[in-house]
């Protein structure tokens, strides 16, 4: 019998792929924030003004374009890290591989869609649907985890 | 010998139970936020106004009721995710099962108490005590982890 | 063959050490925030005023000294938790031990430097360089992880 948490277990490798891809997507929000700050000369700290491209650089925490990316980033943290926690534990329950794979896929693509809907300010409820699909995927794994733990 | 990170290890299954329960509690803050936003017609993005129930829906990031839930959520992120990181590594040190179980229990119930104290605005230091109990449980696991690693 | 995620694997123990140390550093920001709040009598919730040392205690979410620590804390969350996710999965790829160790070290010390640069408001780009070094270490592990997964 091979170990659960190893590259010989396809459930684990699928989880690793989608968990890492979701995390990289989340990390990309940092770069988007930096790009927006530099483009608009808007910074969060007085010492950061030296990074600005001209004398119009200023400190503000209320620029709507920067704050939209920040809220998107925080929403990722609120959802992608719980996906990792619940998903990593769910892998230990040895779920049906194809069922597990679809949970990981639905989660990842729902977060991609959520980001697009957030950054393009698509009409609601598009962003809400993206959020909900990912949320439900995580809750579904948690339900199966609790069932396995309480058996 | 059975694997550390498998459902055959009761230390791991206890950790999985309390880590998942804490994470679900944290995720519930998203639903509380949505419910409060819908109840008060207060949204964070202009496009979200379409979700509001009447024409009084407005965008604000300073509603005290919504922001209280948001701070609670962020405090969960600052504490529950570190509990998962430290706890998952602590399981590898093969601690005494009953000692490990009480660390997990104290953490989880301290966060439940913290949430109640936060949302009901109970007189201080009730919320601070809830925070501290969970914080100390995590630090205690970290101390035992470092001892095992540096031995 | 010994298990990947056990104290018999030096790659895992090195990861455990630096992941836990980074997480404890992140958790220390909570204590810094509390100390600053108590020193300046600045609180986030009305009920917290009872924790203040005199009648000048007040509620505000815009104190620059408190908010600087808060931003530092959030930046840790945005970087240290992804390091844990990617690093934990990277360990499964059985990387060259010394290469893995240097990834963990660069990440940890870059976050220590980032914190010092942030709290002392050192001239930029010092803080940006600290951020970038840790970010690149995590991305490098992710690249190696994806290579192993897609092989």
pLDDT of residue B25 exceeding 60, the answer is yes
Residues in chain A, pLDDT under 50: 1
The DSSP symbol for C61 reads S
Cβ atoms within 10 A of the Cβ of C25, count?
A: 16
Q: What is the rounded CA–CA span in Å between residue C133 and residue A74? A: 22
| Set of chain B residues whose Cβ sits within 8 Å of the Cβ of C27 | 78-79, 82, 135, 138-139
Of A108-117, B13-22, B48-57, where does mean pLDDT reach its minimum? B48-57
| Nearest residue in B to A93, CA atom | B7
Instruction: Look up residue C86 and give its two tokens.
Output: 């990617």
Range of the domain at B111: 10-36+63-149
Residue ranges of chain C whose CB lies within 8 Å of a chain B CB: 3, 5-7, 12-13, 16-17, 19-20, 23-24, 26-27, 29-30, 44-48, 50-51, 61, 73-74, 77, 81, 84, 88
Residue A132 lies in a domain: yes
B-C Cβ pairs (cutoff 8 Å, strict): 76
Residue B129 lies in a domain: yes
pLDDT of res. B2: 66
Q: Domain with C118 in it: what CATH number? A: 1.20.120.550
Q: Which of A44, A110, A120, A38 is nearest to A80 (CA)?
A: A110
From A3, A7, A20, residue closest to C86, measured CB to CB: A20
- In chain B, what is the straight-line distance between the N-terminal and C-terminal CA atoms, in Å? 22
Answer yes or no: are the C-beta atoms of C22 and C80 closer than 8 Å. yes
Residue C15 lies in a domain: yes
Sign of the CA dihedral running C138, C143, C146, C148: negative
* ipTM > 0.85, yes or no: yes
| Set of chain A residues whose Cβ sits within 8 Å of the Cβ of B26 | 78, 82
Q: pLDDT band for position B149 (50/70/90)?
A: very high
Residue A127 lies in a domain: yes
pLDDT tens for residues C19-48?
999 999 999 999 999 999 999 999 999 999
Average pLDDT over residues B68-72: 97
Residue B58 lies in a domain: no
Of B12-21, B29-38, B48-57, B95-104, where does mean pLDDT reach its minimum? B48-57
Q: What is the rounded CA–CA span in Å between residue A44 and residue A48? A: 7
> How open is the CA angle C90-C19-C119, to the nearest 5 degrees?
125
Cβ atoms within 10 A of the Cβ of C79, count?
A: 22
Residue A134 lies in a domain: yes
pLDDT of res. A109: 98
The DSSP symbol for C151 reads -
Q: What is the rounded CA–CA span in Å between residue C140 and residue C123? A: 27
What is the domain count for chain A?
1
| Nearest residue in C to A81, CA atom | C81
Residue ranges of chain B whose CB lies within 8 Å of a chain A CB: 3, 5-7, 12-13, 16-17, 19-20, 23-24, 26-27, 29-30, 44-48, 50-51, 61, 73-74, 77, 81, 84, 88
Q: What is the rounded CA–CA span in Å between residue C123 and residue A111? A: 36
Inspect the interface and report whether the beta carbons of A145 and B20 lie closer than 8 Å.
yes
> Over chain B, what is the mean pLDDT?
95
Average pLDDT over residues B16-28: 98
**Nearest-CA distance B144 → chain A (Å):** 22
Residue A83 lies in a domain: yes
| Nearest residue in A to C131, CA atom | A30
Q: Name all chains with 3 or more CB-CB pairs below 8 Å to chain B.
A: A, C
Rg, chain C, Cα only? 19
Of A52-56, B101-105, B107-111, C122-126, where does mean pLDDT reach its minimum? A52-56
Residues in chain C, pLDDT under 50: 1
Q: What is the rounded CA–CA span in Å between residue C127 and residue A86? A: 33
From B68, B77, B149, residue closest to C13, measured CB to CB: B149
Place of tokens 């844990």: C84
pLDDT of res. C57: 86
C60: phi > 0 → left, psi -120 to 50 → alpha, else beta; which?
beta
- In chain C, what is the straight-line distance between the N-terminal and C-terminal CA atoms, in Å? 22
Q: What is the rounded CA–CA span in Å between residue B77 and residue B83? A: 10
Residue C52 lies in a domain: no
pLDDT of res. A151: 86
**Nearest-CA distance A86 → chain C (Å):** 12
Inspect the interface and report whether the beta carbons of A92 and B6 lie closer than 8 Å.
yes
> How open is the CA angle C77-C82-C88, to the nearest 5 degrees?
130
Helices (H), strands (E): how many in chain A?
A: 4, 2
Mutation target to probe the A interface, by most A beta carbons within 10 A, among C63, C85, C118, C151 is C85
**Nearest-CA distance A121 → chain C (Å):** 23
Place of tokens 């024409």: B55
């Amino acid at each position: 019998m091979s170990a659960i948490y190893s590259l010989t277990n396809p459930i684990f490798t699928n989880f690793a792929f989608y968990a890492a891809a979701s995390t990289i997507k989340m990390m990309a929000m940092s770069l988007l924030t930096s790009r927006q700050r530099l483009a608009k000369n808007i910074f969060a700290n007085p010492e950061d003004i030296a990074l600005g491209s001209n004398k119009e650089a200023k400190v503000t925490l209320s620029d709507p374009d920067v704050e939209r990316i920040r809220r998107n980033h925080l929403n990722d943290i609120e959802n992608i890290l719980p996906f990792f926690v619940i998903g990593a534990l769910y892998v230990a329950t040895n779920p049906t591989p194809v069922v597990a794979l679809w949970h990981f896929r639905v989660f990842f693509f729902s977060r991609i869609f959520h980001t697009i809907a957030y950054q393009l300010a698509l009409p609601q409820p598009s962003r809400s649907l993206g959020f909900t699909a990912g949320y439900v995927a995580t809750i579904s794994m948690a339900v199966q985890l609790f069932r396995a733990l309480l058996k």
